[in-house]
Amino acid sequence: MVVRKSKFKGTLDEELAEVKAINKKISVHKKRGIRESSTLDNLLNKRYELERDINRKLNEKNRLSDPILNYCLNHFAPIEKENSSFEKVPLVKKFINQIKEFKGEKILSIGKYGNLKIGIISSECIFWEDKYNSLFVPVKQLKRFSPEENIWEEDKKNLFEIDKDIFYYPSFSLDSDKSLSKFFEKMTGSKLKRGYNWSTDYSQTRFIGGPRPRDIEIYIGNDFVEQELKEKQFKIPSITKKVPIPNF
C-alpha cells in the first residue's frame, strides 16, 4: 500500500483555518460576479487539495476540534475542485437541530435495502469516535423489523445510526415548521402534522455491479412516523404484509 505524503505541514486545525480563509476569498469573487479567473482557479485548486489532505489524515486519533466539520470532511471530501465539504455543514446542522427539537418523540428509518428501524429519541446526536466518525441518534426502545416473522424485535444497542447518504444525495419533502403550523391552525382550526422527512435521491446516480437501491427515508416526530406506519404500504419486495405498528 502506497501512503501519499502530505505537502502541507500544518496541523489539521491549521489546515482547516486556511480552508476557511480561502472560502471567504472565493465568496468575495462570486459576489462580484467573477466565475472564471486565474486567481479564482488557484483558490479552488488550493481548497480542493487542502480538503483532500485533511480527509486523508482524519482517523480515530487525528480529529478536528469542530465535530460537525470533522464529520463532513471525513465523509464528503470533494471529488471536483468546484465542490467543498463545507456545502454539507448546513444540512448536518439542520438534522441535528431537528433531532434536538423532537427529543422524546419517535424516529423511523427505511434503509436502502428495505430494513426498518424505529426508536424514541432520548438525547442529542453524537458522533462515534472511530475512524468512520459515524452519526448516531441515541434512542430508547430501539426496534428493528423482521420481515420473515412480521414482528418488531428489540435492539439493546439503543443507537440509531444515520446513513451518510442522507446528506450526500439529499431530497426533501413533507417539511413543516412551527410558524407554518401556527398559521395553518389559525386558518383552518386543525393542527398541521409536525415533523420532518429526509430522503435520498439516487435517481441521478450510477451504481456499478448492481441495481440502484431504493431511496433511504427518515421520519422524525410522532405525527410523521405514525402517519407513515398507518397510511403507507411499504413498497419493499421482502415485505409481503402490512408492517404492524410497534408497541412502546
On whether both 122 and 202 belong to a single domain, the answer is yes
Tell me whether residue 222 is in a domain.
Answer: yes
The alpha carbon of 247 is separated from its chain's Cα centroid by a whole number of angstroms, namely: 27
- Domain count across the chain: 2
Residues 140 and 203 in one domain: yes
pLDDT of residue 185: 58
pLDDT at residue number 191? 62
In the prediction, which pLDDT does 235 show?
56
Are 53 and 148 found together in one domain?
no
Cell of 163: 446513513
Does one domain contain both 118 and 221? Answer: yes
pLDDT of the residue at 10: 77
Q: Is residue 238 part of a domain?
A: no
Do 24 and 140 reside in the same domain of the chain?
no
**C-alpha span between 62 and 54 (Å, rounded):** 10
Residue 247 placed within a domain: no
In this predicted structure, what is the pLDDT of residue 1? 41
Residue 200 lies in a domain: yes
Q: Which domain holds residue 162?
A: 102-231
pLDDT in tens, 16-74: 999 999 999 999 988 887 777 899 999 999 999 999 999 999 988 888 989 999 999 99
Question: Domain boundary residue among 55, 88, 121?
Answer: 88
Write down the pLDDT at residue 192: 61
Note the pLDDT of residue 227: 85
* Residue 50 sits in the same domain as residue 167: no
Predicted local distance difference test score (pLDDT) of residue 216: 92
Q: Which residue has the cell 405498528?
A: 245
What is the pLDDT at residue 74? 93
Residue 129 in any domain: the answer is yes
45 in a domain, yes or no?
Answer: yes
SS (H, E, C) the chain: CCCCCCCCCCCHHHHHHHHHHHHHHHHHHHHCCCCCCHHHHHHHHHHHHHHHHHHHHCCCCCCCCCHHHHHHHHHCCCCCCCCCHHHHHHHHHHHHHHHHHCCCCEEEEECCCCCEEEEEECCCCEECCCCCCCEEEEEEEEEEEECCCCEEEECCCCEEEECCHHHHCEEEECCCCHHHHHHHHHHHCCCCCCCEEEEECCCCCCCCCCCCCCCCEEEECHHHHHHHHHHCCCCCCCCCCCCCCCCC
34, 59, 88 - which closes a domain:
88
In this structure, are 84 and 106 located in the same domain? no
Q: Let me know if residue 178 belongs to a domain.
A: yes
Q: Which of 88, 111, 145 lies at the terminal end of a domain, its last residue?
A: 88
Q: pLDDT per position in the chain (248 positions), as tens?
A: 444 556 666 789 999 999 999 999 999 988 887 777 899 999 999 999 999 999 999 988 888 989 999 999 999 999 999 999 999 999 999 999 999 999 999 999 998 877 899 999 999 999 998 877 899 999 999 999 887 777 889 998 899 999 999 999 988 644 445 544 555 456 555 566 789 999 999 887 777 767 778 889 999 999 999 888 876 555 565 666 677 778 87
Specify whether 109 is located in the same domain as 162. yes
Pair 172, 83 in one domain = no
Give yes or no: residues 109 and 188 share one domain.
yes
User: Is 29 part of any domain?
Assistant: yes
